[in-house]
């Protein structure tokens, strides 16, 4: 192919020119004298029109034999076409088949079961729906990092292998680590982000985190990505403000850059357009009262179940902060409430429309004695926290932070039924393949 290689999303700038595109054929219609080749190259899709008398006999015959997902190079002339999604059409002048499959592509137009699709995740990603979700995922991450960068935050990574349990002893992936030592896959990068906050002030870490969750729900993965800001001298209130502004920024930027993708997923944009500060803010006490009125039987003092979060958030048209949970249902590092030692200064941010928790955050316990007491109460090994306690020993400081589950945010923004579609390679109790 002698014409220059152009990506499909740039074709409109090449009207009337002869170009080459490299990609895959994802659909085809043919009459005796004309083939309509639907082509994609990752940047977009375009229809290639191949007329029998305008190409070599060989090219026309090759096109006739193409199976779906054949990889091809196609040469043609760019024509503007207002009806086409890409705004252009290609009048094909040449075809080079890179590889034509020997068998039918397994993912067809008919409805496939979810297990079949997940088994074929490596191919399923090529579908327009999965591409829309992954583009939104990329934008969510980009927007979050852009916001934090603009606000003066520094990205500082945390380890995946750790000897200090981050959240609690249940739900841990444990590994043998050389000479009789144990390591855990990080449930959170928070403890390290706290240390980094004492060095750099405003920081965040962002990476994969792991939970050996036995729960088979539409909200849980065993591996998920978490964005965790941590700020020195931020209290609970400033922490909440940061969460609100970050989430609003992400939604605003997804709406700005991914409208087509959201529409292709059938998302109701008006619901997302409402996501502007201030969000709702209620205490745990108030939330449990509301839940009881809504028919929940969760007793006061317990954590909310998935069902509770669903019914609670169906009552709201914007994200809602639930703050000050009972200490006994939350992690050891949260700061005791100054007016009630049974509560902690924490918040969960719940997404509306039944989506539930997307962020968990708190002010951190900066009092050495109380922190040690909590570590013991939780049955954690005090020795593995000596470095963490140093942060209270050498210049302790009020500080707060939170963790935002990326896949939870994507599932909500995209309006997905299940979190697994929000991850390119979802891991659940029953799935580590592909
Ligand atoms: O509420 P979590 O457990 O909080 C922490 O891990 C804190 N150490 C974060 C911090 O303060 N730096 O988890 C935070 C978020 C949840 O709100 C949820 O969005 C997500 O992580 N998350 C999960 N996402 C998918 N699958 C799971 N199994 C998840 N568990 C938590
Ligand atoms: Mg939580």
What's this model's pTM, rounded to 2 decimal places?
A: 0.97
Q: How far is the CA of 330 from the centre of ligand 1 (A)?
A: 12
Tens-digit pLDDT profile for residues 18-77: 999 999 999 999 998 999 999 999 999 999 999 999 999 999 999 999 999 999 999 999
In the prediction, which pLDDT does 86 show?
Answer: 81
Given the DSSP bridges, would you call strands 88-99 and 71-80 parallel, antiparallel or unpaired? antiparallel
Q: How far is the CA of 351 from the centre of ligand 1 (A)?
A: 14
Q: Is the CB of 239 under 6 A from ligand 1?
A: no
Q: How much of the chain exceeds pLDDT 90, in percent?
A: 94
Q: What's the pLDDT band for 170 if we cut at 50, 70, 90? A: confident
Q: Is the CB of 162 under 6 A from ligand 1?
A: no
0.90 surpassed by complex ipTM:
yes
Strand order in the sheet with 161-162: 161-162, 181-185, 174-177
Asked: is 119-422 a CATH 3.30.930.10 domain? The reply is yes
Q: List, by residue range, all CATH 3.30.930.10 domains of the chain.
A: 119-422
Contacts of residue 46, defined as CB under 8 A and 6 or more positions apart, other chains included, come to: 8, 11, 21, 38, 39, 40, 84, 86, 88, 89, 90
Q: How far is the CA of 269 from the centre of ligand 1 (A)?
A: 26
Residue closest by Cα to atom 28 of ligand 1 = 220
Q: Average pLDDT of the chain?
A: 96
Q: How much of the chain exceeds pLDDT 70, in percent?
A: 100
Tens-digit pLDDT profile for residues 71-106: 999 999 999 999 888 899 999 999 999 999 999 999
Residue to probe by mutation, ligand 1, list 192, 224, 426, most atoms within 8 Å of CB = 224
Given the DSSP bridges, would you call strands 181-185 and 174-177 parallel, antiparallel or unpaired? antiparallel
Residue closest by Cα to atom 1 of ligand 1 = 360
Q: List, by residue range, all CATH 2.40.50.140 domains of the chain.
A: 8-99
Which is nearest to 323 in space by CA: 209, 240, 211, 384? 240
- Ligand 2 (ion): residues with CB under 5 Å are 360
Q: How far is the CA of 150 from the centre of ligand 2 (A)?
A: 27
Q: Is the CB of 229 under 6 A from ligand 1?
A: no
Q: How many CB atoms lie within 10 A of CB 136?
A: 22
In this model, does residue 329 exceed pLDDT 90?
yes
Nearest ligand to residue 362 Cα: 1
Asked which of 105-109, 142-146, 153-157, 409-413 is least confident by mean pLDDT, the reply is 105-109
Is residue 374 within 8 Å of 344, Cβ to Cβ? no
Q: How far is the CA of 359 from the centre of ligand 1 (A)?
A: 6
Q: How far is the CA of 402 from the centre of ligand 2 (A)?
A: 9
CA distance 107 to 212: 31
Which whole number is the average pLDDT over 389-394?
98
Which whole number is the average pLDDT over 199-218?
94
CA distance 51 to 45: 19
Q: What angle do CA 332, 337, 343 make, to 5 degrees?
A: 65
Candidates 2.40.30.210, 3.40.50.620, 2.40.50.140, 3.20.20.140; CATH matching 8-99 = 2.40.50.140
Q: What is the DSSP letter of 103?
A: S
């Amino acid at each position: 192919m002698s014409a220059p290689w152009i990506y499909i999303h740039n074709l409109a700038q090449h009207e009337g020119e002869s170009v080459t595109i490299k990609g895959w054929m994802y659909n085809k219609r043919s009459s005796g004298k004309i083939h309509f080749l639907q082509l994609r190259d990752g940047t977009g899709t375009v229809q290639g029109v191949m007329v029998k008398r305008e190409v070599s006999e060989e090219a026309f015959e090759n096109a006739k034999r193409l199976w779906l997902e054949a990889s091809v190079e196609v040469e043609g002339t760019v024509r503007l076409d207002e009806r086409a999604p890409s705004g252009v059409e290609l009048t094909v002048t040449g075809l080079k088949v890179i590889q034509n499959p020997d068998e039918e592509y397994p993912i067809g137009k008919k409805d496939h079961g979810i297990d079949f699709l997940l088994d074929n995740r490596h191919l399923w990603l090529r579908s327009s729906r999965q591409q829309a979700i992954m583009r939104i995922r990329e934008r969510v991450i980009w927007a979050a990092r852009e916001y934090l960068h603009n606000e003066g935050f520094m990205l500082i990574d945390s380890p995946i292998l750790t000897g200090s349990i981050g959240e609690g002893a249940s739900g841990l992936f444990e590994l043998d680590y050389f000479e009789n030592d144990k390591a855990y896959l990080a449930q959170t990068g928070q403890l390290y982000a706290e240390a980094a906050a004492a060095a750099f002030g405003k920081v965040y870490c962002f990476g994969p985190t792991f939970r050996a969750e036995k729960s088979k729900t539409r909200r849980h993965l065993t591996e998920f990505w978490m964005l965790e800001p941590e700020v020195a001298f931020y209290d609970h209130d400033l922490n909440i403000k940061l969460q609100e502004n970050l989430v609003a920024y992400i939604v605003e930027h997804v709406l700005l850059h991914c409208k087509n993708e959201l529409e292709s997923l059938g998302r109701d944009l008006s619901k997302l357009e409402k996501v502007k500060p201030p969000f709702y803010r209620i205490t745990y006490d108030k939330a449990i009262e509301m839940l009881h009125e809504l028919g929940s039987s969760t007793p006061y003092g317990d954590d909310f179940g998935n069902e509770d979060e669903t019914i609670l958030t169906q009552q709201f048209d914007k994200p809602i902060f639930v703050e000050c949970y009972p200490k006994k249902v939350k992690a050891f590092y949260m700061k005791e409430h100054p007016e009630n030692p049974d509560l902690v200064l924490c918040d969960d941010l719940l997404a509306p429309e039944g989506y539930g928790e997307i962020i968990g955050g708190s002010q951190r316990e900066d009092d050495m004695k109380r922190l040690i007491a909590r570590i013991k109460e939780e049955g954690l090994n005090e020795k593995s926290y000596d470095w963490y306690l140093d942060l209270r020993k050498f210049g302790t400081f009020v500080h707060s932070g939170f963790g935002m589950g990326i896949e939870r945010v994507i599932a909500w923004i995209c309006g997905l039924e299940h979190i697994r579609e929000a991850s390119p390679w979802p891991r659940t109790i029953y799935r580590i393949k592909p």
